[in-house]
Structure 1
Amino acid sequence: MAGLIRPLSGFETFTLRLYEDAENAPESPGGVLFQSMAFISHKGYDEVRIFDLTDESGMIRLRLSFAMAHGKWISLPGAPFSGPSWEEPLPVEGVLVAFLQACLAELSDGVGTLIHLMPEGYYLPGYERFRGACLAAGFEEETDSLNHHLALDKRCREDMHSMQRRRLRRATQAGLQFEKRNREFLEEALTLIADWRAKKRHSMSMTHRELASAFHDFPDHYHLFTVQKEERVLSILIAVTVSKDILYYFLPANNPEAGTLSPSVFLIEELSRWACGQGYWVLDLGTSMLPDDTVNEPLAVFKKRMGGIPSVRKTFHT
């Protein structure tokens, strides 16, 4: 049951509902794993605030979930796809502004409020209306990171740069094999991912324990893939089902001894085929940022050459 239920000021047919734990909140609209009540419970945040905007029928039209981290209310810490979730069509901007201002009033004990958004293109057509409401409610907008994705329903091999097509042919001719692995390989895979990324000085956004826990708690969402030549593993990838439409290319790692076989090119191409066959519309290739928040240009160029469509992730903060 909601801890607070009250009509939205100035728009009496809409209601603000506030929950202070995930166990009592209804499921989030949109079906995104990282906005789900199961994920919020899995993360074990110390303090949570879940705000729903409901219409007169009781339908959730917009949800914002926050957790306290580093003295700020963040939507949501440690969630690669977080921020608002809603049902189209969004209410008019005035309703959204009143809802956001009501949320801010309830979050006034934090030193700031931060809303992370998924890449711009994923929110159409409601994105611009939500963005306008955030600005009107007093939030400041910042570009957070550069992201790339593949549109699987429109993808063809010609989207790739000619260099990548040559690498793909060479990998195919060399006999590379793509495989979805079972959980018996998980512990070895997590060790190899950490080792190979460390050798290339690539960071790990999750620990071994956190990754193992995610595979355990969300077995239908976390997937493990490899590229091999005979028995030798050349590349490993964790892919995450974000929603029924989006598959997330997460924590790739290549064997430092893979040489010129281009397992990453082969992996993305074969993963795209697998994802398309499973009914996903988008393969999200993730962000291309360095620790100092500048763009990792070589990585961004690689994703673009694979046919990646660039978009930006934005944040709104007080």
Structure 2
Amino acid sequence: MTTSETLIILKNFKKVINEPHNLRVISAHKATRDYFLSNFLSDACQDQLDFVWEKNQKCKAVISLAISESGEAVSLPESPFGGFWIMETLSSSSLEAFISAFLEELNHRGIRSVAITQAPKPYESQSDLINYLLFKNGFVQKKLVSHHFFIGKKKIKKQMQKETARLQSKGKEVGLKVSHSNISNFKFLKSIREWNMRRGYEITIDEGRLVRQVSEYPDRYFLASLSSNGVDIGHSLGVKLTSDSIYYYLSALDPQGNVRNGGELLLNELFKVAVEQKVNFIDLGSSDLVATTNHSLMFFKSRFSNDISNKVTWIKNI
């Protein structure tokens, strides 16, 4: 690199870091976000705010925080993740300035602590930089889980076609049928709860909150159902968390159904949803156990994924 090239880089760097940005705080319900859960308020919190990083009155980045009465801020409770969303690529210095600005504002509001679960990289391309800067600014890693992804519209379609051809013949041999639709009623929740209880799984879902979310955003939810001779024996929920993604969520099979390939049939049906919705990636979710790695579930998901990305939860006392 020549001296003149170095001087140009330094000049551009000084220009970037000296460009003014402003922090604006608004109620979360006043803005529509692509990640619709950013606007879905938590009953446990007294307020939910958007911290918006602006330049020339244009939003460059945003983070939504639910504020509890005890002075704790969370991004976002009862959601797969929250974290920072970058509308236009930010330099490391500008992003760090945003972090400092919103922490200062939280301190001014008397907030005692903040927890951030940053969306994995397929959702937010600058997540690695965000995680690095949170670490550098005193945040402590509280939790880390890995999500499996299948990325690429054309690849999703090709995978779906290949698996459909393989699974259809197997399903017909034993009278299986799989389909998907938008949600018209919530009877499937009772079945999922009962099936999971029979398997000894802990039920942690807030069904009331899910019903409200589906009722408010009906076009974002898709139910895949597996039946044997006309009787439902499996369900899986797909959620369009963003306009470019499908999230694989809340899957269960009747343990008395004794059906092979049931999980694969349900998962492939959500690949069909992804093709219909023309999304760029499918999030198969985490494969987490409290104390150990869930190797069997990770192996299953690895057969239907082409990428893996970590989701980190950070905490900081202010």
TM range, smaller chain: 0.7 to 0.9
Query: 2:80 corresponds to which residue?
Result: 80
Contact 2:61 2:88 in 1 (8 A): no
The residue correspondences of 1:101-140 to structure 2 (distance < 5 A) are 101-108=100-107, 109-124=110-125, 126-140=126-140
Give the percent of matched residue pairs that are identical in Structure 1 and Structure 2. 23
Q: What is the rounded CA distance, in whole Å, between the counterparts of 2:216 and 2:267 in structure 1?
A: 26
Q: 5+ residue gaps in structure 1?
A: 1-9
Q: Is the 8 A contact 2:179 2:225 kept in 1?
A: yes
Q: Give 1:285 shift.
A: 1.1
Structure-2 change in CA distance of 1:139 and 1:160 (3 Å): farther
User: Structure 2: which amino acid aligns with 1:18?
Assistant: V
Other-structure match for 2:6 = none
Q: Is the aligned partner of 1:55 residue 2:55?
A: yes
Per-residue deviation at 1:288?
Answer: 0.8
Q: Name the CA distance, whole Å, in 2 between partners of 1:265 and 1:80.
A: 23
Q: Is the 8 A contact 1:147 1:287 kept in 2?
A: yes
CA separation of 1:166/1:202 partners in 2, compared to 1, >3 Å: closer, same or farther? Answer: farther
Offset of residue 71 of structure 1: 5.5
More divergent stretch after superposition (222-231 vs 166-175)? 166-175
- Which residue matches 1:6? none
Query: Shift of the alpha carbon at 1:98?
Result: 1.7
TM-score scaled to structure 1, two decimals?
0.82
Q: 1:312 aligns with which of 304, 310, 313?
A: 310
Q: CA deviation at 1:94?
A: 1.6
Aligned counterparts, 1:240-251, within 5 A: 240-251=239-250
Is this contact kept in 2: 1:34–1:80, CA < 8 A?
no
Written as runs of structure 1 = structure 2, the 5 A alignment for 1:25-104 is 25-28=30-33, 31-35=34-38, 37=39, 39-40=40-41, 43=43, 45-56=45-56, 58-69=57-68, 72-90=72-90, 92-104=91-103
Q: CA deviation at 1:314?
A: 1.2
Measure the CA separation in 1 of the matches of 2:124 and 2:136. 19
TM-score after normalising by structure 2: 0.82
Structure 2 counterpart SS, 1:123? coil
Quick one: which amino acid aligns to residue 55 of structure 1? K
Task: Report what 2:174 is aligned to.
Answer: 174
Spell out, residue by residue over 1:214-258, the C-alpha distance to the aligned partner (whole angstroms, 9 max, x if none). 221211112222011231112111211111111111100101122
For these two proteins, the number of residue pairs brought into alignment is: 295
Residues 13-60 of structure 1, C-alpha deviations (whole Å, 9 max, x = no match): 2111112x324x4334xx11222x2x13x657313332110011x111
C-alpha distance in 2, partners of 1:128/1:287?
18
Matched residues in 2 for 1:11 and 1:221: separation?
41
Residues 247 and 89 of structure 1: is their aligned pair in 2 closer, same or farther, counting only changes over 3 Å? same
Distance 2:189 2:294 in 1: 24
2:28 maps to 22
| Matching residue's letter, 2:32 | E
Question: Are the structure 2 counterparts of residues 159 and 288 from structure 1 closer, same or farther at C-alpha, using a change threshold of 3 Å?
Answer: farther
Higher helix share: 2
Query: For 1:197-212, what aligned pairs fall within 5 Å after superposition?
Result: 197-212=196-211
Question: In structure 2, what is the Cα distance between the partners aligned to 1:106 and 1:207?
Answer: 31
Kept in 2, the 8 Å contact 1:145–1:293? The answer is no
Partner Cα separation in structure 2 for residue 115 and residue 130 of structure 1: 11
What is the rounded CA distance, in whole Å, between the counterparts of 1:133 and 1:101 in structure 2?
10
RMSD: 2.8
Determine which structure has more spread, i.e. the larger CA radius of gyration.
2
**Contact 2:35/2:242 (<8 A) preserved:** yes
